[in-house]
């Protein structure tokens, strides 16, 4: 199952994300978000294969996992098995190249998958849905060209993103229409940006080109995120070690100051390294949380040794550390988060996958690692009273 789906997975996560990002404004007084809203899928890919769409997620009311049909009707998955059993066919026939199609999406938190040429394979275990995990060579979806967007629709509105947290693949943008008729969109690459990302990864020293997966017919399917690259052996395990070591050395003799909430400047934590541990204290000098020296997987995945629970202290500090490591700002600025984009990715040892994707994003925004929303660098649209959502599939060029 794909791990580390960070964006808006539960109602609690939605509320926390809104607090940290300043996004979770309630719907306007008197407005009520309907049970479903229209999503228009426009196929500008130029590809001739059949397109399949899936709306898969979790009901925020019942906690049930399931899928929605084209009318926005939620269907709970049946019980799974061990070994996993095939899931019901949740696919929706999508529009042909050059055409659009409107479906309805219900209130839940999940993913909108799309695949070209073949339907995706979903299975059910006793623990729930097994989603594609293409870093696994035996995953049945490995040779399918597909991608997904993530969204939450609830009483407070719509959050819809374009994500590269797990992989960079078939490009698309997302959008929302507001009550006043205006629209907001994000996620589109610059002209030629898809090929530019892949070419830049191939040219980046240190094995970054190993993240690219190609089908036997020569079709480039995706570039794995660096965390999955480490997991699968596609990226050298020590690719971030030098930077992590230098950060640990710096803060053994100086203090890292973290102010995790933009709207609460008085909430400040102070980090110092002692041996293999970075301890964070509050203003009274009390240790509030500690982090073991992370490895590259912890940094790229923002998990394990940089775990970020949905709490008021450790999670926000960890988010800040994760962003600082991935953007390599921890050595140039001892006050974090650093939201000056000119400082991002300047070290030779950095998350080059994230650097390259952001450089090719038309608006500079992307979800290239789990907490790319720190400093509002994420490719996300939100509205408290959404009237229409959009998913536009772009050319692979």
pLDDT in tens, 269-312: 999 999 999 999 999 999 999 999 999 999 999 999 999 999 99
Q: Please tell me the total count of domains within the chain.
A: 2
In a domain, 234, yes or no: no
Q: What is the pLDDT of residue 130?
A: 95
Q: Are residues 279 and 182 in the same domain?
A: no
Residue 384 lies in a domain: yes
Task: Find out whether 292 and 301 touch, Cβ atoms under 8 Å.
Answer: no
Question: Do residues 373 and 343 share a domain?
Answer: no
347-372, pLDDT tens digit by residue? 999 999 999 999 999 999 999 999 99
* 227 inside domain: no
Q: Are residues 145 and 39 in the same domain?
A: yes
Whether 229 is covered by a domain: the verdict is: no
Give bridge partners of residue 381 from the DSSP assignment: 160
The reply to whether 93 and 48 lie within a common domain is: yes
In a domain, 236, yes or no: no
Do 264 and 180 lie in a common domain? no
| pLDDT of 23 | 37
Quote the crossing angle between the two packed helices 241-250 and 314-327, to the nearest 10°: 120
* pLDDT for 21 beyond 90: no
Strand partners, 274: 277
Q: Do 369 and 326 touch, CB atoms closer than 8 A? A: yes
Q: Where is 265: in which H helix or E strand?
A: none
For residue 187, tell me if it sits in a domain.
yes
The parent domain of residue 56 ranges over 11-220+353-393
Same domain membership, residue 245 and residue 213: no
Query: In this structure, are 279 and 318 located in the same domain?
Result: yes
> One of 55, 166, 231, 383 is an active-site residue; which one?
166
> Alpha-carbon dihedral of residues 140, 142, 144, 150, nearest 10 degrees?
100
Task: Based on the fold, state whether residues 379 and 312 are members of the same structural domain.
Answer: no
Q: Comparing C-alpha atoms, which of 109, 138, 135, 105 is closest to residue 123? A: 138
The string of pLDDT tens digits covering residues 115-156 is 999 999 999 999 999 999 999 999 999 999 999 999 999 999
Q: Is residue 233 part of a domain?
A: no
Catalytic position from the list 55, 69, 139, 150: 150
- Are 331 and 387 found together in one domain? no
- Is 49 among the residues known to form the active site? no
Residue 106's domain is classified under what CATH number?
A: 2.60.110.10
Quick check: 271 and 325 in contact, CB under 8 A?
no
- Residue 343 located in a structural domain: yes
Q: Would you call 166 a catalytic residue per the annotation?
A: yes
Q: Token digits for 302?
A: 């923002």
pLDDT digit string (tens) for 221-273? 999 999 999 999 999 999 999 999 999 999 999 999 999 999 999 999 999 99
Do 375 and 321 lie in one domain? The reply is no
Does residue 333 share a domain with residue 360? no
Strand partners, 287: 281
32 shares a domain with 139: yes
């Amino acid at each position: 199952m794909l791990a580390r789906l960070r964006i808006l997975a539960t109602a609690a996560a939605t509320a926390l994300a809104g607090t940290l990002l300043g996004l979770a404004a309630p719907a306007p007084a008197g407005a009520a978000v309907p049970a479903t809203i229209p999503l228009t899928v426009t196929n500008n890919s130029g590809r001739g294969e059949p397109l399949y769409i899936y709306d898969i997620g979790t009901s925020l009311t019942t906690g049930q996992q399931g899928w929605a049909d084209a009318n926005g009707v939620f269907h709970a998955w049946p019980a799974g098995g061990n070994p996993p059993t095939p899931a019901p066919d949740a696919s929706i026939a999508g529009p042909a190249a050059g055409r659009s199609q409107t479906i309805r999406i219900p209130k839940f938190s999940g993913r909108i998958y799309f695949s070209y040429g073949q339907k995706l394979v979903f299975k059910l275990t006793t623990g729930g849905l097994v989603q594609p995990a293409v870093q696994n060579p035996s995953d049945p979806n490995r040779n399918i060209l597909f991608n997904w967007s993530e969204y939450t629709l609830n009483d407070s509105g719509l959050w819809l993103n374009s994500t590269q947290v797990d992989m960079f693949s078939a490009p698309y943008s997302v959008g929302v229409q507001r009550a006043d008729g205006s629209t907001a969109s994000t996620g589109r690459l610059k002209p030629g940006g898809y090929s530019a990302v892949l070419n830049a990864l191939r040219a980046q020293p240190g094995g970054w080109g190993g993240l690219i997966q190609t089908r036997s017919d020569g079709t480039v399917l995706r570039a794995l995120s660096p965390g999955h690259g480490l997991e699968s052996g596609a990226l050298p395990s020590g690719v971030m070690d030098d930077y992590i070591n230098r950060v640990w050395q710096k803060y053994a003799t100086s203090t890292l100051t973290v102010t995790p909430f933009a709207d609460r400047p008085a909430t400040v934590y102070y980090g110092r390294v002692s041996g293999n541990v970075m301890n964070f204290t509050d203003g009274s000098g009390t240790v509030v949380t500690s982090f073991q020296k992370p490895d590259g997987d912890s940094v790229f995945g923002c998990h394990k040794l940089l775990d970020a629970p949905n709490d008021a202290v450790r999670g926000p500090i960890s988010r800040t550390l994760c962003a600082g490591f991935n953007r390599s700002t921890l050595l140039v600025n001892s006050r974090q988060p650093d939201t000056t984009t000119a400082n991002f990715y300047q070290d030779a040892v950095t998350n080059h996958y994230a650097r390259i994707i952001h450089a090719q994003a038309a608006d500079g925004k992307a979800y290239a690692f789990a907490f790319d929303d720190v400093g509002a660098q994420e490719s996300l649209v939100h509205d408290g009273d959404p009237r229409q959502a959009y998913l536009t599939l772009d050319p692979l060029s």
